[in-house]
Amino acid sequence: MPPIITIVGRSNSGKTTLVEKLTRELTSRGYRIATIKDSHKQPSFDSDGKDSARHMAAGSVATAIRTQQEVVVFHHNCREEEVSLEEISRLLGENADLIIAEGFKYADAAKIEVHRKGRDLLDNPKRLVAIATEEKLNTKARQFDINDANGICDLLEKGFILPNRRRVSLYINNKPIELKAFPRKIIENVIINMVRSLKGTECPESIDISVRKPNDQPDQTLL
């Protein structure tokens, strides 16, 4: 999974503005950035009666709309709990160098808090790496001027993007599995060498493999 940074803060603190600045600057540096917005509102993304809404009402777990300029994919959440940030990130795929999420202050992901002068900070958000602020704060967290997008992007580039440009992602039952260096290297070498043995796949830049086993089928060990 690409590295994730979440932009958190009080309402109307400027989170969206910072996401825009960071995305624009990192894109100008040649990186591929994906973004996620967390909204507690219930907007209607597709009107009743539209073809895609009819597809979903009929029971489709996912449907897509293609226009000349865009491809929009709808995923139906049939569970009672909210979809996690990690699950949403997986839907975006592995092509991004960094995912910037707005909101998700309770998620277990690295965070940058946006702070306005005279307002309270959030109550000890987990994995806080920096604060973008209008005023000097009495805190141990690293601080940036709220308009210093270049400085924040330097932090993201060195601390998140560059160390993760080469990565192996493993998901089991739709959950990301953390891989230490040794098993990650073994998996990478085995898969790359296997793929290189196939015709027309001598120089792979990325490889996606999905294995799905129905619950009613027993495990089989290949010898």
DSSP letters spanning 19-81: HHHHHHHHHHTT--EEEEE--SS---SS-TTSHHHHHHHTT-SEEEEE-SS-EEEEE---SSS
**Domain around 155:** 4-42+79-164
Confidence of residue 223 (pLDDT cuts 50, 70, 90): very low
Residue 63, pLDDT score: 84
For 190-210, write each residue's pLDDT tens digit.
988 888 888 888 777 888 888
For 15-50, write each residue's pLDDT tens digit.
999 999 999 999 999 999 999 998 766 555 565 567
The answer to whether residue 135 is domain-embedded is: yes
The answer to whether residue 123 is domain-embedded is: yes
For 139-156, write each residue's pLDDT tens digit.
889 999 999 999 999 999
The answer to whether residue 197 is domain-embedded is: no
The answer to whether residue 148 is domain-embedded is: yes
Q: Which residue has the higher pLDDT, 216 or 76?
A: 76
The answer to whether residue 134 is domain-embedded is: yes
Domain count, the chain: 1
- Given a cut of 90, whether residue 173 has pLDDT beyond it is no
The token pair at 153 is 């992007």
Residues 115 and 109: beta-carbon distance below 8 Å: no
pTM: 0.82
The answer to whether residue 25 is domain-embedded is: yes
Residue 110, pLDDT score: 96
Q: Give the CATH number of the domain where residue 113 resides.
A: 3.40.50.300
CA–CA distance from 31 to each of 21, 101, 221 (Å)? Answer: 14, 16, 41
Q: Are strands 128-133 and 110-115 parallel, antiparallel or unpaired?
A: parallel
The answer to whether residue 69 is domain-embedded is: no
Residue type at position 5: I
